[in-house]
Amino acid sequence: MTQQQYIINRKLNVLELGQTLGNISEACASWESAASTTTTSNKP
């Protein structure tokens, strides 16, 4: 998977979650929170 494909897939996942929740802002916040937690937990 290329970096561009990865980015597109992440964006699609956020949009799908927004549709499920009925609120794109909540979906974005949820994904940002998950990304920052993953980044933080991977640091030594």
For 1-44, the pLDDT digits (tens) are 899 999 899 889 999 999 998 998 888 888 776 665 544 444 45
Provide the whole-model pTM. 0.63
pLDDT the model gives residue 36: 56
Sole residue written with tokens 């009925």: 22
Write down the pLDDT at residue 4.
94
| Residue 41 confidence (pLDDT) | 46
**Alpha-carbon span 42 to 27, nearest angstrom:** 23
Q: Report residue 42 as tokens.
A: 């991977």
